[in-house]
Structure 1
Amino acid sequence: MLKLLPRDTRDTLFILAVIGWIVLMQVPHLPWWTSTIAAGVLVWRAVLTWYQRPLPRWTWRVLLLALILGATWWTHRTLLGRDAGVTLIVTLLALKTLELRARRDAFVVFFLGFFTLLTHFFYSQSLLTAAGILIALLGLLTALVNAHLPVGRPPLWQSARTAGGMALLGAPIMLVLFLLFPRMAPLWGMPNDAMTGRSGLSGEMRVGEVASLALNDDIAFRIRFDGRPPPQQALYFRGPVLSDFDGQRWRALRMPFPARTPAAADLQVSGPPVRYEVTLEPHQRPWLFVLEATPEAPTLEGDQARMLHSLQWVTERPIMERLRYRAESYPDFRHGPLQASLGLQAFVELPPGYNPRTLAWAQTLREQVGKGPDFSRRAVAAVMDHLRTGGYTYTLEPGVYGTHTADEFWFDRKAGFCEHIASSFVILMRALDIPARIVTGYQGGEINTVDGYFTVRQRDAHAWAEVWESGRGWVRVDPTSAVAPGRTGSFDRLLAPENAFTGALRSLNPTLAAQWRNMWEAVNNRWNQWVLNYTQGRQLDLLRQLGFKTPNWQDLVTVLAGLLVLVSLAGAGWQLWERQQHDPWLRLLRQLRQRLQRLGLETADHMPPRTIAQLVARHFGDTDFSRSVTQWLMRLEALRYAPQSADSLGTLRQAYRQIVWPSRAPD
């Protein structure tokens, strides 16, 4: 049907389709009204084009612009910033199509579309996003090439082929720029998720305020172990340690005085180490996740890591881009003071007026367990046994808890997810005068059988407890494992909801679904490792391989500039050679010049046919040969430069063969 439409109608519908694809990729990141207005405007413009009706008056565009500005302010409370800017650029791109009348307007739409494509990288740099942008880029290039074609009705496939050729020709330049253009800090941050009831980590933990927990299947980090990975139940990746409790919220403890000894001085490790490499996704916090426990700083690029007193490793700046680092951990370790000290008092404090039933139960437990040097160990064992046999369950929908969260968990609901269980356990331990704290991080993960990487997801975020025991220091206790052993074991892991396609595929063939997912994530991991994680350090490593001893960013600029100059000169030389070798008009003129040279007339390469004709007339005089060559040269010039020439290359080749050449040069 497109073949029957006028060219203007066909070209406008194609542009609208490309813009629709660009907007469609942004739908997950836009307010609902933005997608609705953009879709409505594009459909409106398509209907006007199809029925060849006039475009709306400028008053409609002004009203729509005012509506868009007002809605943007109402949604984002600003017209500046990333989210508000993307909202405006998408709607303005759609709105610009309502004044798409002239060729100039089309060029504005093209370049506005190119700019809008860049905004997709604000939210994702995944392989799927890159593929969608490549499709949109080829579509915009096709429309741009088609707009430059002469009047007529050239097919769109011809423009698409030209656009594809241009993209292929530009690919080597893009590759050089990718390899050598100096890497800088990211120009944007990844979206900052608020506490919206999705699994993951935060700098604090509010107990009981989330009625249900939606599992987040996003990848937190990937690990490549040098050898065989530890068992599932030993995979505890340490994050923020929360010790300050106000009755509803747990936060990291702020030390009132500096620690006398660094955290590593209290850490003792034994046994063989576990060596591995982590590829950490950006999370806008300075946290590094390593297996417990890691005495030496992880090896990372362009930054330094330090250990907090809680054994957590952090960087100097928030992690805003994908980070790769190596670490060495010891599953067998001991940490903390071996004897009671004043510093442990902060880990038994509880706010007054909260959880009275738990405090009363603690007094009963104290009498049941009895006194002794191993009171802490026996109390922990009693509480863990109570969790296993007391009818407690692990659930992602416990409902909203009240003021006394521990009381509700121990005596009323007996259900919750890991934060409820860990918080209630630590509160009970502190009520028993046992120093205790909450450790957050990730537990477990899954192996990708395609590329061998171990994948840890946001749904693997976990909270467990540490209690202090005399002679042993801080000891990990995971009360969730007593309620739901499968949560920390090899089976019955938490699974996020699946989309319709994945769910249907899993119901038909679970093995095929798992293989499909592993293969896709392995491909994405390669994209992350070789493209997104190509940092300045890897650039400098490339220069070292090229012979630079101590390369820096100035060397990168020098090498890049040198390559660009060489490529430009080579391209110009190749274009000149190709034009001379493959231009049939130049080849025909060169044949005449070579023949004249044998007759004693030298001509320069840059001389046009008119100048050569004048030299022939002076050199050979007023002869039939001179007149025939002069006339042929003027016809050759007219073929090149005259808009309407009666000759063609074929007729001129035939006329060239009919020239009667003298046997020798004139005297």
Structure 2
Amino acid sequence: MPQAARVPWWCTAMTAGILCWRGVLAVRGAPLPGTPWVLGLLVVAVAATFSSHRTLLGRDAGVTLIVVLLALKTLELRARRDAFVVFFLGFFTLLTNFFFSQSLLTAGAMLVGLLGLLTALVNAHMPVGRPPLAHAAKTAATMALLGAPVMVLLFMLFPRLAPLWGLPSDGMTGRTGLSSTMQVGNVAQLALEEGIAMRVKFEGQVPPSYELYFRGPVLTQFDGREWRPLIRRVNESTAAWMPPLQVEGFGAPVRYTVTLEPSNRPWLLVLDAAIKAPDAPGVTALSGGELQWMSTRPTTDLVRYTAESYIDYRAAGQARLAALPPQYRELPASYNPRTLQLATQLMASVPGGAANKPALVQAALERLRTGGYVYTLEPGLYGEHTADEFWFDRKQGFCEHIASAFVVLMRGMDIPARIVTGYQGGELNGVDGYWVLRHSDAHAWAEVWLAGRGWVRVDPTSMVAPGRIGSLQRLRPPQSAFASALGSVSPGMLVNLRQAWEAVNNGWNQWVLNYTQSKQLDLLRQLGFRSPDWEDLFYMLVGVVVAVSLAGAAWARWERRRQDPWLRLLARVRQRLSAAGVPLAPACGPRQMADAVTKRFGNEGRPLADWLLRLEAQRYSRSANAPLPTLQRELNRLPWPAFR
């Protein structure tokens, strides 16, 4: 059932049909289908799998085949060994769920499935008849509980040499996240996603929410339709990212820890501006230039890293205008002619003209603030001249429309400018103290280069919708009917429930999914190892396994000696009768012992014979009988001296 949303529709339908067919055959006691039926269904399943996935290899195709083969195996379920094969195929099918997700909900669903399969396995090992299912479930739960400490120890000490879940090239297809390019409309689509993009834990004082700009891709090159990163041409066949900027930080840096959700993107989002590379264990952080940091591979798993940033900084402040790459001022020919005309008008109206760059920036911002522009996620489809349509026709748009039109206007006035995309603001989870940034917090803003100041952040969206910046007015994607009904009854309840769940889920991420190699070595340091390495971890694991094995062997020996209290009580009677001159075979039961006592001692042995018959009834009779402790007390009161 957990795989139903991931496998093709025909796989779900075929699996359900086969299982229903097998159930009908079981209820009616009808014979199972022959080999031709099973082989025919197998051929159909393989052909359908290849048609859906264009391959029989890989994660998606493999899981589809496993699900169908599990259902087909039930058509061969004739003996107990066939049932065991089905059960263990079920365990493997459970495992495949982690190829897609390792979330807390997935783990909970797998735990339920695990207990169900263990119950079936225990029930299959019970004697013939119809033992109560509750008894098998209790035994299975006890087994799982006894195995939990071993599971925890292996989880903590088993070396983490590589990601255990996932297959190559199976992608993080369909994952939402920032893109390396931007067409008008991209970020608006991302902002409709309510999923969590990252969590941030600050050390010390938290900056104001309107200062929380987490930097992602920087977009410079514009062809009239699409914004792309600036790439420095090395020769005709190779290209490279721009070298890192010279950045000066002022004041005390802000230190924080980021837990980045998988996005299949390489960017390590950091607060503006991080001068040093983020410390991400197991991930190599590289500078992509332009104050952005990225890893050498896409983030296909949960990534946790620490960083420090300066809220007050100056980037490329000592550079000269002529030294900047020309792409920061370039515009494609024949695009947005009215915006270029507006740029000419602004330069003519501002004191100092084209030389007064700060005044030109303020003039553009003032036009946004007073020109009747509207912030909306649904501005309609823009045409060829996106900046012209925003400034003069539609006068409405999302942050990407505003930032793009603003940068085009800046370049029209010969001011170096670029677009920065990332996340802005976020909300504090009062349960665990983490700042949560969702995809709905995706944002685009601008940076302009001013002489002596370097790159300066300018957020033109704040002029159109001041409440969008910070935490005053967060974007809220459409809610489901249930969430809307709950929110209408108690507006705060929905927020509290979501924060509580996200705090629990964050704990799962931090303590389970993010239990990395470095945390294993930190654990060894806490246990007294000065400079732990993988050899120490191996010895620790072997020592724990040996200790647990010895403890299990000692417990089994003690349990063997303790035996069954009923058998121990019967052995006590046999021993005393043997001492009284009544020889009894080791396999002699209570009834045979009672007959021997009656023959040897007559009426004098009647109390003991009756007690032995009651002991037999306590074990084998279905009617209510005296409990074992009561029989033990009665045995102590019997007239044993007569038999010495």
Q: Smaller-chain TM-score range? A: 0.7 to 0.9
Matched, 1:481 2:462: yes
* CA offset digits 1:419-450 (Å, max 9, x no partner): 22222222222222211111111101001111
* CA offset digits 1:599-633 (Å, max 9, x no partner): 9xxxxxxxxxxxxxxxxxxxxxxxx95xx54x434
Q: 1:108 aligns with which of 79, 85, 91?
A: 85
Matched, 1:142 2:95: no
Secondary structure in 2 matching 1:578? helix
Question: Is the 1:344–1:435 Cα contact (8 Å) retained in structure 2?
Answer: no
Matched, 1:539 2:516: no
- Paired letter, 1:170: G
In structure 1, distance between residues paired with 2:189 and 2:274: 34
How far the C-alpha of 1:322 sits from its partner, in A, is 1.9
Q: Evaluate the alpha carbon distance shift between residue 330 and residue 83 of structure 1 in structure 2; reply closer, same or farther with a 3 A threshold.
A: same
In structure 1, distance between residues paired with 2:449 and 2:310: 20
What are the residue-to-residue correspondences of 1:470-619 with 2, within 5 Å? 470-583=451-564, 585=567
Question: Is the 2:448–2:457 Cα contact (8 Å) retained in structure 1?
Answer: yes
How far the C-alpha of 1:472 sits from its partner, in A, is 0.8
In structure 2, distance between residues paired with 1:211 and 1:180: 45
Which consecutive unaligned segments of at least 5 residues does structure 2 have?
Answer: 593-611, 617-631
Which residue number corresponds to residue 318 of structure 1? 298
Q: Evaluate the alpha carbon distance shift between residue 33 and residue 392 of structure 1 in structure 2; reply closer, same or farther with a 3 A threshold.
A: farther
* CA offset digits 1:396-425 (Å, max 9, x no partner): 233433333323333333333222222222
- Paired letter, 1:558: Y
Secondary structure in 2 matching 1:33? helix
Question: Is the 1:581–1:587 Cα contact (8 Å) retained in structure 2?
Answer: no
How far the C-alpha of 1:510 sits from its partner, in A, is 0.8
- Paired letter, 1:83: D
Q: Evaluate the alpha carbon distance shift between residue 424 and residue 64 of structure 1 in structure 2; reply closer, same or farther with a 3 A threshold.
A: farther
How far the C-alpha of 1:649 sits from its partner, in A, is 11
Q: 1:223 aligns with which of 188, 192, 200?
A: 200
Question: Is the 1:443–1:462 Cα contact (8 Å) retained in structure 2?
Answer: yes
Which residue number corresponds to residue 209 of structure 2? 232
Per the normalisation by structure 2, the TM-score is: 0.84
* CA offset digits 1:467-492 (Å, max 9, x no partner): 11111100111122222222213222
In structure 1, distance between residues paired with 2:24 and 2:384: 59
Q: 2:3 aligns with which of 21, 26, 30?
A: 26
The Cα RMSD (Å) is 3.4
How far the C-alpha of 1:50 sits from its partner, in A, is 4.0
Which residue number corresponds to residue 423 of structure 1? 404
- Paired letter, 2:253: P
Q: 1:247 aligns with which of 210, 224, 231?
A: 224
Secondary structure in 1 matching 2:192? coil
Which residue number corresponds to residue 375 of structure 2? 394
Q: 1:632 aligns with which of 585, 598, 606?
A: 585
Which residue number corresponds to residue 165 of structure 1? 142
Matched, 1:363 2:340: no
Q: Evaluate the alpha carbon distance shift between residue 389 and residue 71 of structure 1 in structure 2; reply closer, same or farther with a 3 A threshold.
A: farther
Matched, 1:276 2:256: yes
Q: Evaluate the alpha carbon distance shift between residue 404 and residue 55 of structure 1 in structure 2; reply closer, same or farther with a 3 A threshold.
A: farther
How far the C-alpha of 1:261 sits from its partner, in A, is 11
How far the C-alpha of 1:55 sits from its partner, in A, is 4.1
Question: Is the 1:211–1:399 Cα contact (8 Å) retained in structure 2?
Answer: no
Q: Evaluate the alpha carbon distance shift between residue 582 and residue 179 of structure 1 in structure 2; reply closer, same or farther with a 3 A threshold.
A: same
Which residue number corresponds to residue 439 of structure 1? 420
Secondary structure in 2 matching 1:571? helix
Per the normalisation by structure 1, the TM-score is: 0.81
Secondary structure in 2 matching 1:241? strand
In structure 2, distance between residues paired with 1:393 and 1:553: 59
Matched, 1:292 2:292: no
In structure 2, distance between residues paired with 1:261 and 1:67: 54
Which residue number corresponds to residue 73 of structure 2? 96
In structure 2, distance between residues paired with 1:108 and 1:358: 71
Secondary structure in 2 matching 1:297? coil
Q: 2:328 aligns with which of 334, 347, 356?
A: 347
Q: Evaluate the alpha carbon distance shift between residue 336 and residue 590 of structure 1 in structure 2; reply closer, same or farther with a 3 A threshold.
A: farther
In structure 1, distance between residues paired with 2:191 and 2:253: 35
How far the C-alpha of 1:334 sits from its partner, in A, is 0.9
Which residue number corresponds to residue 606 of structure 2? none
How far the C-alpha of 1:253 sits from its partner, in A, is 1.1
Which residue number corresponds to residue 163 of structure 2? 186
- Paired letter, 2:500: M
Q: Evaluate the alpha carbon distance shift between residue 151 and residue 391 of structure 1 in structure 2; reply closer, same or farther with a 3 A threshold.
A: same
Which range moves more in the overlay, 58-67 or 494-503?
Answer: 58-67
Q: Evaluate the alpha carbon distance shift between residue 222 and residue 416 of structure 1 in structure 2; reply closer, same or farther with a 3 A threshold.
A: same
Secondary structure in 2 matching 1:632? coil
In structure 1, distance between residues paired with 2:174 and 2:251: 39
How far the C-alpha of 1:141 sits from its partner, in A, is 0.6
> For this pair of structures, how many residues does the alignment match?
599
Secondary structure in 2 matching 1:186? coil
Which residue number corresponds to residue 382 of structure 1? 363
In structure 2, distance between residues paired with 1:296 and 1:638: 85
How far the C-alpha of 1:214 sits from its partner, in A, is 6.2
How far the C-alpha of 1:522 sits from its partner, in A, is 0.9
In structure 1, distance between residues paired with 2:587 and 2:642: 18
Which consecutive unaligned segments of at least 5 residues does structure 1 have?
Answer: 1-22, 600-623, 640-646
What are the residue-to-residue correspondences of 1:428-467 with 2, within 5 Å? 428-467=409-448
How far the C-alpha of 1:209 sits from its partner, in A, is 7.0
In structure 2, distance between residues paired with 1:180 and 1:114: 23
- Paired letter, 1:122: F
In structure 1, distance between residues paired with 2:311 and 2:287: 17
Q: Evaluate the alpha carbon distance shift between residue 296 and residue 580 of structure 1 in structure 2; reply closer, same or farther with a 3 A threshold.
A: same
In structure 2, distance between residues paired with 1:156 and 1:461: 52
Which range moves more in the overlay, 327-336 or 99-108?
Answer: 99-108
Question: Is the 2:273–2:311 Cα contact (8 Å) retained in structure 1?
Answer: yes
How far the C-alpha of 1:53 sits from its partner, in A, is 4.5
Secondary structure in 2 matching 1:518? helix
Question: Is the 1:211–1:398 Cα contact (8 Å) retained in structure 2?
Answer: no
Question: Is the 1:210–1:399 Cα contact (8 Å) retained in structure 2?
Answer: no
Q: Evaluate the alpha carbon distance shift between residue 420 and residue 67 of structure 1 in structure 2; reply closer, same or farther with a 3 A threshold.
A: farther
Secondary structure in 1 matching 2:262? coil
Matched, 1:40 2:21: no
Which residue number corresponds to residue 333 of structure 1? 313
Which range moves more in the overlay, 204-213 or 521-530?
Answer: 204-213
- Paired letter, 1:240: P
